[in-house]
Amino acid sequence: MTLAPNTYTDIPYEEKAKLIEEVMADHRYGEHLYGCYECGICVAACPSARFYDFSPRKIAQAAARQDVELMYEQMNDDVWNCSQCFSCTRCPRGNNPGGIITVLREVAVRNGLASARDALEGYGRVVYKIMSTGTQVSPDMLQPNAFPDWGPHVKAISDNVETWRKALPPETLHTTSTAWNVDEKTIIELYLIWQATGVMDMIGEVDEGLHMILEDVMEDVLDEAGYET
């Protein structure tokens, strides 16, 4: 492992190295990195690289060099600019910079890094919705004051969201508080998976309040279904 200019000077090198070792020990890591010859195809394909000071090539390069300082810096800063679209898998070398970023993010969250808490602070409502209902952002979250970048047409949609939804052909989409109907068996399975795989522990590391609320929601459902929580 090599040394690069140190940005997070207050963090001991050993602490950084421990986290990067955790990244490299992940079973997916080896499948995401086969070495990088800096062709830049991933950068050309990456939507985030067009709008931010961000480069999937630098992610692959830092990983290929096992540069602890730079990887730690990226784990705190760059990784939150990735939209996880995986366009970078066009890499002719077979690399998956977006996949490396997934692992870096997970380690950042699992270890409760302040940067991870900051990056995810604004997404509490979205995470709550996804994890409590088993669906993604719901139609009733389309509110003009919620996400300004959704544009000026949002008010017209939110005023008539029930009508719009009923116009959709599949009846499972005639919902507003969830993105679609999810049956109870699926919800129970999701709750059990999130608890068994440590996802709930990760939420607890970055947002204790959200963790408590989700635990309450899940416990009620699982208790009623006869599971010990």
Residues that bind ligand SF4 (CB under 6 A): 36-42, 45-48, 56-57, 60, 82-88, 91, 93, 95, 97-98, 101
Query: What gap in Å lies between CA 149 and CA 153, rounded to an integer?
Result: 11
Q: Report the nearest approach of ligand SF4 to the CB of residue 71 (Å).
A: 15
Q: Report the nearest approach of ligand SF4 to the CB of residue 227 (Å).
A: 36
- Between 78 and 207, name the residue whose CB sits nearer to ligand SF4: 78
Residues in CB range of 111: below 8 A, 6 or more apart: 19, 22, 205
Q: Report the nearest approach of ligand SF4 to the CB of residue 62 (Å).
A: 11
- Between 82 and 190, name the residue whose CB sits nearer to ligand SF4: 82
Are the beta carbons of 1 and 63 closer than 8 angstroms? no
Report helix, strand or coil for 67.
strand
- Between 37 and 189, name the residue whose CB sits nearer to ligand SF4: 37
Q: What kind and span of H or E run contains 95?
A: none
CB atoms within 10 A of CB 162: 13
Q: Report the nearest approach of ligand SF4 to the CB of residue 87 (Å).
A: 4
